[in-house]
Amino acid sequence: MTTPAIPDHAELILPAPAKLNLMLHILGRRADGYHLLQTLFQFLDYGDELGFALRQDGEIRLHTGVPGVPHDSNLIVRAARRLQEASATRLGADIWLDKRLPMGGGIGGGSSDAATTLLGLDHLWQTHLGEERLAELGLALGADVPVFVRGRAAFAEGVGEQLQPVELAEPWFLVAIPQVNVSTAEVFAAPELTRDTPAITVRSLPEGGGHNDCQPVVEKRYPEVRNALKTLNKFVDAKMTGTGACVFGSFPNQADADKVSRQLPDTLPSFIARGCNRSPLHRKLETVTRK
């Protein structure tokens, strides 16, 4: 019998949902090396789960870490400590992580965990910093953290921090997980990366998103991703999310996604999830707050 990742005595259990980049255009590069981009974020009703319990001694203890990631380097711990510092609280927390999302998958696992930690502990500690301040704290942890903090599907610009909420269709997605960890830093440093895609407006967004400028780079360097795209493309228009490695296709209903999922090889794990314009994290927090 296996021990559950989150124990019964956790006081607050919250989802850390995955996201997809339905498009990712690279417009240029700033003097500091960061890339200017435009992207379209949508959440999925699938992801990690975190449990929290209050500590009075100010300690932050993550009891279920990620292999290869030191405790103090984990984004969950860093987010908790940032919130402690910003709020001047003397409280601490025990934290447990039920990890389902792959690292280096381009579906926001670490960033989503950090955002759930910020929002969860803001609620548990009653620090009341507010969404704007929490998003600022999140940006210092990663460019994708603010969209998870705000919890609305968004068209993003700048380095990903300028967010404009959008209403998108909410199809079912089949997300395939090539068994490789793609380095975001390597992709953005690649000399062959397109960095001059013309800017678009939110009104000119093509239905379903658009292309991903990082995809050709990743396909060239990671045969696992290239092969996954070829496999999925036999059934549906497949795209890569973020800087990879996960690839996805959209379907009008769950049954169609299930049918394709059953035809994928055993060497290519996958999951099926519904697209969400409102984050499952925020929906859960609303029910907690009302109690």
Q: Are residues 203 and 111 in the same domain?
A: no
Within a domain: 6: no
Q: Are residues 76 and 110 in the same domain?
A: yes
Instruction: Tell me the C-alpha distance between 188 and 159, whole Å.
Output: 12
Instruction: Tell me the C-alpha distance between 217 and 2, whole Å.
Output: 40
Which residue type occupies 35?
A: H
Number of domains comprising the chain: 2
Binding site for ATP, by residue number, is: 102-112
Instruction: Tell me the C-alpha distance between 170 and 147, whole Å.
Output: 17
- Catalytic residue flag (residue 19): yes
**Closest by CA position to 147, among listed 3, 22, 27:** 22
- Catalytic residue flag (residue 144): yes
Q: Which of 131, 166, 201 is the last residue of a domain?
A: 166
Within a domain: 283: no
Within a domain: 58: yes
pLDDT in tens, the chain (291 residues): 456 789 999 999 999 999 999 999 999 998 888 899 999 999 999 999 999 999 999 999 999 988 889 999 999 999 999 999 999 999 999 999 999 999 889 999 999 999 999 999 999 999 999 999 999 999 999 989 999 999 999 999 988 889 999 999 999 999 999 999 999 899 999 999 999 999 999 888 887 778 999 999 999 999 999 999 999 999 999 999 999 899 999 999 999 999 999 999 999 999 999 999 999 999 999 998 765
Within a domain: 110: yes
Provide the token pair at 61: 């203890």
Within a domain: 193: yes
Instruction: Tell me the C-alpha distance between 57 and 239, whole Å.
Output: 47
For 46, the domain range is: 12-166
Residue of 48, 113, 122, 144 with catalytic role: 144
Q: Which of 142, 166, 190 is the last residue of a domain?
A: 166
Q: pTM of the full predicted structure?
A: 0.95
Instruction: Tell me the C-alpha distance between 179 and 246, whole Å.
Output: 9
Provide the token pair at 38: 């435009």
Within a domain: 114: yes
Q: Are residues 48 and 109 in the same domain?
A: yes
Q: Are residues 142 and 240 in the same domain?
A: no
Provide the token pair at 285: 């927090």
Q: Which of 112, 131, 166 is the last residue of a domain?
A: 166
